[in-house]
Structure 1
């Protein structure tokens, strides 16, 4: 049996940009992606803590060290700059692997990785 479990989470990052004139996705600072074990093209769920919106899209790699969290295309209507969001990725695993799997959860400060 395969089940879907939490793989990665960027907890409470701030939206830095909303770009309606783009074909879709979320742009994420590459440092944040690396820390959370996320890759370009990966499907993610974005949960907006300010308005309760939940959307799914895919990741585009953003400039390393920029702190960029930019919702693009139609998703840009679901947030405003400054909103706090949680970015979540899930993975399919068999039950035995999922039972011992440890997800990567990152708590950035001001959209930067704290060492």
Structure 2
């Protein structure tokens, strides 16, 4: 049996921008992407702590150590600058492997999205 489990999570990160006129996606600081084991183009689920919105999009690599978290395209309507969001990705794996799998969990500083 195969099941979906959380693979990566960036918990409580601050939105730094929302660009409605971009094609679509979420731009994430490359440092945060690496810490959470996310790759460019990966599907992610976004939860907005401020307004309860839940939606999915894909990752675009942002500038390393910039703290950037920008929602692009239609997703920009689901957030406002300075909202706090949670970014998650999931993986499909064998049920028995899932029992011992440890996801990548990242808890950035909410003030500047840094890992320090």
Alignment TM-score > 0.5, same fold: yes
Query: Shorter-chain TM-score category?
Result: over 0.9
TM-score by length of 1: 0.98
Kindly provide the CA deviation profile for residues 12-60 of structure 1, in whole angstroms up to 9, marking residues without a partner as x: 0000000000110000000000001110000000000000000100000
Query: What secondary structure sits across from 2:99 in the alignment?
Result: helix
What are the equivalent positions in structure 2 for 1:54-65 lying under 5 Å apart?
A: 54-65=54-65
Q: Which runs of at least 4 in structure 1 moved beyond 6 Å after TM superposition?
A: none
1:113 CA displacement? 1.1
Q: CA RMSD in A?
A: 0.5
Residue ranges of structure 2 left out of the alignment (5+ in a row): none
Number of paired residues? 114
Separation in 2 of the partners of 1:24 and 1:112? Answer: 24
Give CA-to-partner distance per residue, 1:49-99, whole Å, 9 cap, x none.
Answer: 000000100000000010000000000000000000000010000101101
Using structure 2 for the length normalisation, give the TM-score: 0.97
* Aligned counterpart, 1:15: 15
